[in-house]
Amino acid sequence: MSRVMMMLATAIWLMGCGSTTVVDSGPDEDIASDVTADAGDSSGGDTTSEVDTATDAAVTPDVTPEDSGSPSDTASCDTVGCPCGAASVCTNDLVCADGACCAPTCDGKECGDDGCGGTCGACEDDLGCNDLGSCMICEPNVSVCVGNSTSTCNNQGDGYSGVPFDCADLPDTPDCEDGACVCSPDCAGKTCGDDGCGGTCGTCDESTETCLEGQCACAPQCDGLDCGPDGCGATCGECKSGVCNEGLCESPAQPTGETCDSPYEIESLPFNLSQASTSKATDDELYECLGLDEPVGDLALGFGPDEVYAVEIPSPGMLSVGFSTWSDLGDSDWPMMVYLRSNCLETCSTYMGMAVVNQSAILKMPVGKAETVYIIVDGVGPDDAGTYNLNVTFTED
């Protein structure tokens, strides 16, 4: 620009001196060589100026954009507060804010305003940024879990205050949840039963099921039953004796003559029986008034197989019971005993008398009233059994 102005000034000066100036429109480096001065008429009167151009324009210099002073040329600013915009840019890490260069302040910050309308960073979670420019990790002043320990979030929400407490040190509440030590129910693999925290892992149908080791299983239906199917493939029990009848054990009907409760009935007197036998009987009755629970040496009464007879005595009188071990079967002379009882109660007061023989004897017993008398034919010892004869008579007073 300055160079062009200089050439124009020179041309004007030459015209004033009565010379002829020619300006060629070629490259500016040829301008100096194209300017000629007509010095031959320097003393004359008229001066003629001629400008030879490619166009009718007065002067059109050839210049490059960098010298033209176009609007693309901008200034730079490295000072806080200096104006900035389209004609001036901020440098040295300054940013343009509201038309002035501004220095962002983010030292020690990870989020929040940088002071120049920008931000120092963004927080990943939803808790946001606190006033100190730190991303909050917890709600301020709220109890929280740090791992499995309880702690308290500080006032700014970017750390913890106090000393954490490990919930694992509490057997009843070993797990941290929502800032508190709690008991975590354990129902893994369970459908029912205790969850370990006072609750339940589920319930079973009480009418048909029961909880067994955390699983609902068939509940045996044995209430009020002694035996029979339990409804689950097993039984409610077995009868030690007798038979199971609709879940109840019932004693088998005692063979007639085996016990005081099921005696042979003597329907009329006198009564005579020949060659009966205790060989297939069982030991159901015992003469207990000697205080013996089992045979002691040679002293044993009523420990053999036995049979029982009952006779109705109509009035006071004398009852005679004759018995013998003789028979034509060849098994005579076995230790036989006979004793009388007034009822089936197991007390000595019920015994009316007894006799022991090897061959024959008669047991006479006064009866003071009308009653049933039980006649027991027994063996003295456990192995004493055999054939016997029995004769019963009664004489009223």
Query: How confident is the model over 169-190, as a mean pLDDT?
Result: 89
Last residue of a domain, one of 67, 88, 115: 67
Highest mean pLDDT among 51-65, 75-89, 243-257: 75-89
Contacts of 84 (CB under 8 A, 6+ apart): 77, 90, 96, 99, 100, 101
The answer to whether the CB of 95 falls within 8 A of the CB of 107 is no
For residue 393, pLDDT beyond 60: yes
In terms of domains, do 387 and 268 share one?
yes
267-309: per-residue pLDDT in tens?
A: 999 999 988 888 888 887 766 665 555 554 544 566 788 899 9
Whether residue 270 has a cis bond before it, omega within 30° of 0: yes
Asked whether residue 164 is domain-assigned, the answer is yes
Residue 21's pLDDT band (cuts 50, 70, 90): very low
Contacts of 210 (CB under 8 A, 6+ apart): 204, 216, 217, 218, 219
The proportion of the chain whose per-residue pLDDT surpasses 70, expressed as a percent, equals 73
CATH number, domain containing residue 329: 2.60.120.380
Sheet holding 371-379, edge to edge: 264-266, 307-313, 371-379, 336-341, 351-357
Return the H-helix or E-strand segment holding 10.
helix 2-16
Query: In angstroms, how far is the first alpha carbon of the chain from the final one?
Result: 178
3-state secondary structure at position 128: coil
Nearest to 285 by CA among 331, 338, 334, 324: 338
In terms of domains, do 297 and 389 share one?
yes
- DSSP state at residue 169: G
Q: What is the mean pLDDT of the chain?
A: 77
- Any idea which residue has 């339990």 for tokens? 230
Overall domain count for the chain: 3
Asked whether residue 72 is domain-assigned, the answer is no
356-389: per-residue pLDDT in tens?
A: 776 788 889 999 899 999 999 988 888 888 888 9
In terms of domains, do 392 and 268 share one?
yes
DSSP string, 304-372: S--EEEEEEE-SSEEEEEEEE---TTS-----EEEEEESSS-SSGGGEEEEEEESSEEEEEEEE-SSEE
For residue 39, pLDDT beyond 50: no
Residue 227's pLDDT band (cuts 50, 70, 90): very high
- What confidence score (pLDDT) does residue 294 get? 54
312-361: per-residue pLDDT in tens?
A: 999 999 999 998 887 655 556 788 888 888 887 766 667 777 777 767 88
Asked whether residue 43 is domain-assigned, the answer is yes
Asked whether residue 107 is domain-assigned, the answer is no
Asked whether residue 217 is domain-assigned, the answer is no
Range of the domain at 46: 2-67
- What confidence score (pLDDT) does residue 301 get? 65
Tokens found for residue 326: 């003789």
180-196: per-residue pLDDT in tens?
A: 999 888 899 999 999 98
